[in-house]
């Protein structure tokens, strides 16, 4: 293996032994082979370790298996960024599939950016489709567009699952926050921060097939919110303090309401919030609906804990 492969492919997994083989196999089938594979096991209790051991002969030294206590996908992402030896990190969820030309497409587009200009780019981002062939979300306005996450979502209305190859050195500058006792932080928390300093090159090519399982993160949104209020507080706090230029008045008021809501759920009281916000008039106008959401959530959480 070369000293620094171009790609570090990262698979976070938690009790996904039944689907992990498919993900690992799709990486083994890549036509572009200058990569390492990092699997971070986030505290699995199934036979994940045995499955990965089976693949060790195929990958050899290019496969690294890292185990850690269950802390959530964002913590696994931080770990992968620290452990990666590649120039670019590529996420592959344990129940998804990477198309055979994905790494080749990413490499081609990354090398198409003149080396002298790459310091301004965080990486390359492409599309995902579902197993039925349907594109997930919208394509980018045009192929080869240079922009950032905030502009792409706020101004161009692009949504849906996307996958990118992102510079490892940048990821190390922007780690996900770790909130004690919580296991989830929204992925876009980091992408928004990166958007203020770097751009991506966006390509309208499908890189991965995504699968949303009934027991996966995407299907347990309500309970996940109430179990991870601290991460959401930090997410909305970032919006109202650092991303206001990308929010219209309605979006900004909504963000402030969520900030109040999850601030209270994570025990950041009204006085703390008052001292923290810069737009106190907006905070006051969002206080009543924010309190209403907090009380609803508080009651739900109390009922669930009894169940």
C-alpha closest to that of 34 among 3, 76, 10: 3
CA dist 126 and 230 (Å) reads: 31
pLDDT at 215: 52
Residues 153 and 231 in one domain: no
Question: In the predicted model, what is the mean pLDDT of residues 262-277?
Answer: 98
Indicate if the pLDDT at residue 214 is higher than 80: no
Clarify whether residues 193 and 256 are in a common domain.
Answer: no
The pLDDT score that the predictor gives to residue 60 is 86
What's the pLDDT tens digit per position in 221-236? Answer: 788 899 999 999 999 9
Shortest CA distance to 236 belongs to which of 197, 294, 156? 294
150 within a domain of the structure (yes/no): yes
Q: Which pLDDT does position 260 carry in this prediction?
A: 99
What Å distances lie between residue 50 and 68, 74, 189, CA to CA? 16, 24, 34
Q: pLDDT tens digits, residue range 109-130?
A: 999 999 999 999 999 999 999 9
* Whole-number Å distance between alpha carbons of 294 and 263: 9
Residues 64 and 194 in one domain: yes
pTM, entire model: 0.93
Q: What percent of the chain has pLDDT over 70?
A: 96
pLDDT band at residue 212 under the 50/70/90 scheme: low
If asked whether residues 83 and 134 sit together in one domain, one would say yes
Residue 58 included in any domain: yes
Among 213, 242, 264, residue at a domain's last position? 213
Q: Is the pLDDT of residue 1 over 50?
A: no
Residue 307 binned pLDDT confidence (cut-offs 50, 70, 90):
low
Listed residue (123, 128, 150) closest to 139, CA to CA:
128
CATH of the domain at 81: 3.90.550.10
Question: Mean pLDDT over residues 277-296, rounded?
Answer: 97
Question: Are the beta carbons of 96 and 23 closer than 8 angstroms?
Answer: yes
Domain span at residue 256 reads: 220-306
For 249-260, give the secondary structure using H, E and C.
HHHHHHHHHHHH
Structural domain includes residue 1:
no
What mean pLDDT is reported for the chain?
94
Token representation of residue 131? 């197993």
Tell me: do 52 and 145 sit in the same domain: yes
| Residue after which a domain boundary falls, among 213, 233, 260 | 213
Q: Write 279-288 long-range contacts (CB < 8 A, 24+).
A: 279/240, 282/252, 282/253, 282/256, 283/256, 285/253, 285/256, 286/253, 286/256, 286/257, 286/259, 286/260, 287/260
2 part of a folded domain: no
* Cα angle 128-50-2, degrees, rounded to a multiple of 5: 65
Q: Are residues 67 and 16 in the same domain?
A: yes
- pLDDT recorded at residue 306: 75
The answer on 139 and 281 residing in a single domain is: no
Domain closes at, from 188, 213, 238: 213
Residues 141 and 255 in one domain: no
Are both 123 and 264 inside the same structural domain? Answer: no
Q: Domain tally for the chain?
A: 2
The answer on 230 and 177 residing in a single domain is no
Structure-token pair, residue 122:
């965080």
E strand map for the chain: 7-13, 35-42, 63-68, 88-91, 97-98, 121-130, 145-147, 162-167, 199-210
Residues in the chain: 307
Position 276 in a domain: yes
Classify the C-alpha dihedral 255-259-260-261 as positive or negative: positive
Q: Is residue 42 part of a domain?
A: yes
18 & 150 share domain: yes
Q: Is 24 left (phi over 0), alpha (psi -120 to 50) or beta?
A: alpha
Q: How confident is the model at residue 64 (pLDDT cuts 50, 70, 90)?
A: very high
Three-state secondary structure of 39-104: EEEECCCCCHHHHHHHHHHHHHHHEEEEEECCCCHHHHHHHHHHHCCCCEEEECCCCCEECCCHHH
Averaged pLDDT for residues 190-200: 98
**Based on the domain organization, do 101 and 158 belong to the same domain?**
yes
Q: Is the pLDDT of residue 247 over 50?
A: yes
């Amino acid at each position: 293996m070369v000293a620094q492969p171009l790609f570090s492919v990262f698979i976070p997994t938690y009790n996904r032994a039944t689907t992990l083989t498919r993900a690992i196999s799709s990486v083994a089938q890549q036509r572009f082979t200058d990569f390492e594979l990092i699997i971070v096991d986030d505290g699995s209790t199934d036979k994940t370790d045995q499955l990965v051991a089976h693949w060790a002969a195929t990958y050899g030294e290019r496969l690294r298996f890292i185990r850690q206590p269950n802390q959530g996908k964002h913590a696994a992402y931080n770990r992968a960024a620290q452990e990666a030896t590649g120039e670019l990190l590529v996420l592959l969820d344990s129940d998804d599939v990477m198309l055979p030309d994905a790494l080749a497409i990413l490499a081609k587009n990354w090398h198409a950016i003149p080396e002298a200009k790459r310091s301004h780019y965080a990486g390359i981002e492409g599309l995902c489709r579902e197993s039925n062939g349907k594109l997930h979300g919208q394509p980018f306005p045009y192929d080869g567009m240079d922009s950032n996450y905030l502009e792409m979502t706020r101004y161009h209305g692009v949504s849906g699952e996307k996958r990118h190859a992102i510079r490892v050195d940048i990821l190390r500058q922007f780690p996900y926050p770790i909130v004690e006792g919580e296991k989830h932080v929204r992925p876009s928390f980091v992408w928004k921060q990166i958007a203020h300093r770097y751009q991506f090159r966006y390509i309208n090519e499908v890189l991965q097939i995504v699968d949303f399982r009934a027991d996966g993160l995407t299907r347990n949104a309500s309970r996940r919110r109430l179990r991870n209020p601290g991460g959401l507080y930090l997410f909305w706090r970032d919006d109202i303090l650092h991303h206001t230029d990308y929010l219209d008045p309605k979006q900004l008021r909504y963000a402030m309401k969520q900030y109040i809501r999850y601030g209270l759920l994570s025990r950041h009281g009204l006085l703390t919030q008052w001292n923290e916000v810069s737009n106190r008039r907006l905070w006051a106008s969002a206080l009543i609906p924010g309190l209403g959401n907090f009380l609803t959530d508080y009651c739900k959480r109390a009922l669930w804990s009894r169940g």
